[in-house]
Structure 1
Amino acid sequence: MLALHIEEIAQALDGTFVTGREPVDISQMYVTSVSTDSRVTSDHGLFVAIKGEHVDGHDFLQSAARHGYVAALVDHEVKLPEAHDTPSDSQHEMDQGLQREDNPQILQILVPDTVKALGQVAHLNLEHRRALHSPFTIIGITGSVGKTTTKDLTRALLASRDNTVAPQGSFNNDIGLPLTATTVDERTRYFVAEMGASGIGDIARLTAIARPDVGAELRVGTAHVGEFGSVENIFLAKSELVEALPQESGIAILNADDENVARMQDKTQAAHVLWFGITNATHQAQLDVTARNISVDNIDRPSFQLIIEGKLAGDVHLQLSGKHHVMNALAAVSIAHCLGLPDEQIVRVLNSHIPLSPHRMCVREVEVNSQRFTVLDDTFNANPDSMRGGIEGLASLGDENSYRVAVLGPMLELGEESDELHHEVASRVYFDGIDNLIAVGTPSLPEADHLADAYVEGVHQAAHATDIPVNPTKARRHGPFSLTRVKDADEAYAQMMYVLEKHPHALFLLKGSHAAGLSALADRLLRHTVTSADSSATPAAGVNQA
């Protein structure tokens, strides 16, 4: 973060100072970092007190003061202990050796909305960076699926050239994005901003914080259609990214394989539009970036020939599992190409990139109770589009003798079509040559628990369908399809162990919305990852070691 004077921050927020029990000299007070975590030591830090569903940051101002923060954004004045009162510190603070006899004060900046104020501080920081004479570019990425992987690939590409800031994981909302933006400083050349939305106007608010110079639109899918109300509303919400691009210099990067993304050409005034894709389903005159001769290896890592502006840039072998990641790579390549990275550098970085964000198409060989098997962990979240990619990934793993199991939790926020969409996913599992489906319930979220039953119903419908031809290349080789409905992730684990007794070395896909608890199950399993030194027989061993 660039150093910002506290008076400039308060003025930008139209905030009011609350000084506490003693006068505070703010003439030399400045801020060099921002956080919502009072436990992180932060000299010259600004603490943002946010009231969440279960925890209120306003309760931790004393902790923030003890950890070096000089000021806090608050939506109401917080009364702090007097200088010699005995503080009620957490055990964590005692473990850190903090001084219990002190009750340091902290300057409070009173604002109506601390989340909005956080965004304003982030915007102020970015504007200070733009005011410097050195080049600085903001890249925005959005889409119903693929945002985080594309962001990670883009970060890797741009970081190979110059200092790049991008969020860890999926910090893509009105808290995560501005927190990442406050880490931009005078050395930063590129800021890669992942932009998510749960409704119309969300991305517009994010682009008001960080107006992008380059905007990449990946896909308009059915993720969160329940929140948006319709796919058309998703289109309108995602379009807000390219609508924010500057007319004189903006670059819009659009997916030519998605008809809704292609429509965004009419929603932007950006000076340049680049197209990426594989099939060019929307019949653009030319694909600026595409892939040819796509194939996958035995753990579903794609290889392809990268074509940039009609010329072969090189052969790419991604370290990500899942054929659908080719499109994410093409989007990242488009960003890097328009910003001037040489073709050979792009190919080199793609071939060496190791996945950064957890629970996204991560393939590991694990060993539990002397049973060695393969886990495809894609548990970060789930929607119909990403489910399709996960199932395709499982179907591509292993060889013709492999036994494949889909362990699926529910997909949330799909609206009135939720049951039908779960039926379709189950049908895909049934017809794509998968041997076994374990449908996982969510007793902690009763309103979604019935969706595991929707998977079961979908399998029964598929089994009795007479109008769907079976693809002989995806025929099951281990007898009849198996189906189990389990209560929760713990029962799913037990069922997996039972399956392994009959089918050693099975392949498991773990996928579902966060509420299903499958990411915790994945963590439990991946603690037993087999390292490359431990493995001598299975080609999946040691893959994608972080």
Structure 2
Amino acid sequence: MTPEAAMMPVTLDQVAEAVGGELHIPAHARSPHETFEPSVVSDSRQAHDNSIFVAIPGERVDGHDFVAQVAGQGAAAAIVQHPVEAPIAQIIVKDSVEALGRLAQYNLAARRAAAGDFTIIGITGSVGKTTTKDLLHALLSELGPTVAPVGSFNNEIGLPLTALQVGKRTRFLIAEMGANHIGEIAHLTHIAPPDIAVVLKVGVAHLGEFGSRERIAQAKSEIIRGLVPGGTAVLNAGDPYVAAMSDIAPARVLWFGLDDTRPAGAEAKTTAQAISLDDLDHPSFTLVDADGSAARVTLGISGRHNVVNALAAATVARACGMTLDQTARALSRVNRISAHRMAVSQVERDGAQFTLIDDSFNANPDSMKAGLDGLAAWHAQDSTQPYRVAVLGAMLELGESEREQHRQIGAYTVDRGIDEIIAVGNPTDTHFDSLAEAVYHGAQERATTSGRDSVSIHWVHDAAQADKLVASAAADHADTVVLLKGSHMSGLSALAERWSK
């Protein structure tokens, strides 16, 4: 979050009451009754005058160790789980993460009670949350001041920190809501009850944690159950697990999507027609509103899969009062989204050049296939084809079928006509390494059975080995394009950052 973002006007007395804490004021500190508009941070480096620092104990770093530092930076107060020797007002609580959520809940209630319209939009789904959030942020910012998370701030810490950027002029809050277990989204909607809730897809991400897609659907449906009375559900008509959530919607349901699994009698959906891709994998399509009106859109971001994300964002924007033409124009202007999501750049490495498609933020089977589809579509209409390299890391939390799903991704990569496949494991983590091995063997088997003996397939054990193979491929092929795709823990985003220097 940015340290300049401030919450609603408040006093330290009110903060202490909101979080259920005990306020200790040192000599010469700010009066507990003085009203100010603080920024709330959990990163000591972001603390400044008027900041409230939330000291969160972690596995590697304890925020309490930095309370004296933020006092020196001029912070107004610290929320702590035990007193710290430092010249700063301290609010002592039992659980600082819980206190952070309670303060965010208080802030949003204060904004709702203040003058002017205010709308909370919650977004969840197994894939596409952050991209949809980025697109929607671009759209709603044209209607009024909009707060949205940076990157993928979607858990019990990230969402409250985002909600605490809501101030007295904020018109919209976009709240991204992720889940690793049942009840997590319900907790987030308790902090930030949405007026509009978007569900994108129920995939197999976190299958190992939940055990079944039905359980994943149950977790995602908590965002619909958490809507304010009379709130609007925005559902993907093409996903049967999502479409079934219309049964629990408290009021209006708006639909979007390409395919159709809606129940009988459902209202019309927002959809896309005449989809095409240019040589850089940018989709163009006709945006067709639920009332049948249409406008042409060309996205500045890559990937056919982003058409559905754009439809979700457009549906919300239209519900918030944006005209169809405004929506189409605003979507077409978006050319940057959060880092490591189908980000295209040119890289020079060891005297060779290549095009990088960096989609290394995270991965599951759905997003992995979408990334590979984007790589396959890159300059697919040219008479001379580029040399396509897929650098693939592990996908995590897929349960008992994880090795088979990795083998399937290896086979899918071969089927998409990729020229070189580099499965990246880990020299110290046998689990990571075995998943990379499964990608390798799946690719090898499909290459043999399909007669694609020319494809070059590697299994390496760290990013440095992958780096050398990519540099070699780029040196041998003048027109090389490289896809980086893997779960965040696979370390491929660090490889992308190395290449960006």
Which of the five TM-score ranges fits, normalised by the shorter chain? Answer: over 0.9
**Residue 155 of structure 2 corresponds to residue 173 of structure 1:** yes
Which one-letter code corresponds to 1:483 in the other structure? I
- Where does structure 1 lack aligned partners over 5 or more consecutive residues? 81-104, 528-546
Measured in 2, the distance between the counterparts of 1:36 and 1:482 equals: 46
Question: In the TM superposition, what is the alpha-carbon distance from 1:283 to its structure 2 partner?
Answer: 6.1
Measured in 1, the distance between the counterparts of 2:399 and 2:26 equals: 48
Mapping for residues 31-110 of structure 1, pairs under 5 Å: 32-80=38-86, 105-110=87-92
Mapping for residues 84-483 of structure 1, pairs under 5 Å: 105-248=87-230, 250-269=231-250, 271-282=251-262, 285-399=266-380, 401-465=385-449, 480-483=454-457
Aligned residue pairs: how many? 491
Measured in 1, the distance between the counterparts of 2:435 and 2:254 equals: 40
Structure 1 residues 29 and 134, CA, compared in 2 at 3 Å: closer, same or farther? closer
Which one-letter code corresponds to 1:276 in the other structure? F
Tell me if structure 1 keeps the 8 A contact 2:68–2:85.
Answer: no
Q: In the alignment, which of 511, 514, 523 is matched to residue 488 of structure 2?
A: 514
Structure 1 residues 458 and 43, CA, compared in 2 at 3 Å: closer, same or farther? same
Question: In the TM superposition, what is the alpha-carbon distance from 1:25 to its structure 2 partner?
Answer: 4.5
Tell me if structure 2 keeps the 8 A contact 1:138–1:213.
Answer: yes
Question: In the TM superposition, what is the alpha-carbon distance from 1:403 to its structure 2 partner?
Answer: 1.6
Tell me if structure 1 keeps the 8 A contact 2:30–2:76.
Answer: no
**Residue 458 of structure 2 corresponds to residue 484 of structure 1:** yes
Which one-letter code corresponds to 1:493 in the other structure? D
Tell me if structure 2 keeps the 8 A contact 1:153–1:329.
Answer: yes
Secondary structure of the structure 1 residue equivalent to 2:161: helix
* Sequence identity percentage: 47
TM-score computed with the length of structure 1 as normaliser: 0.87
Per the alignment, residue 88 of structure 1 pairs with none
Measured in 2, the distance between the counterparts of 1:321 and 1:69 equals: 42
TM-score computed with the length of structure 2 as normaliser: 0.94
Measured in 1, the distance between the counterparts of 2:482 and 2:206 equals: 26
Measured in 2, the distance between the counterparts of 1:521 and 1:113 equals: 36
Measured in 2, the distance between the counterparts of 1:324 and 1:209 equals: 31
Question: In the TM superposition, what is the alpha-carbon distance from 1:450 to its structure 2 partner?
Answer: 1.4
Secondary structure of the structure 1 residue equivalent to 2:361: coil
Structure 1 residues 281 and 29, CA, compared in 2 at 3 Å: closer, same or farther? closer
Question: In the TM superposition, what is the alpha-carbon distance from 1:286 to its structure 2 partner?
Answer: 4.6
Secondary structure of the structure 2 residue equivalent to 1:69: coil
- Where does structure 2 lack aligned partners over 5 or more consecutive residues? 1-6
Stretch of structure 1 that moved more, 506-515 or 444-453:
444-453
Secondary structure of the structure 2 residue equivalent to 1:4: coil
Measured in 1, the distance between the counterparts of 2:20 and 2:477 equals: 65
Measured in 2, the distance between the counterparts of 1:446 and 1:48 equals: 37
Question: In the TM superposition, what is the alpha-carbon distance from 1:507 to its structure 2 partner?
Answer: 1.4
Tell me if structure 1 keeps the 8 A contact 2:19–2:100.
Answer: no
Per the alignment, residue 3 of structure 2 pairs with none
Secondary structure of the structure 1 residue equivalent to 2:426: coil
Question: 1:297-317, CA deviations, whole angstroms, 9 ceiling, x for partnerless residues?
Answer: 111110000000242421100
Secondary structure of the structure 2 residue equivalent to 1:458: helix
Tell me if structure 2 keeps the 8 A contact 1:299–1:363.
Answer: no
Which one-letter code corresponds to 1:273 in the other structure? V
Question: Over the residues paired in the alignment, what is the CA RMSD in angstroms?
Answer: 1.8
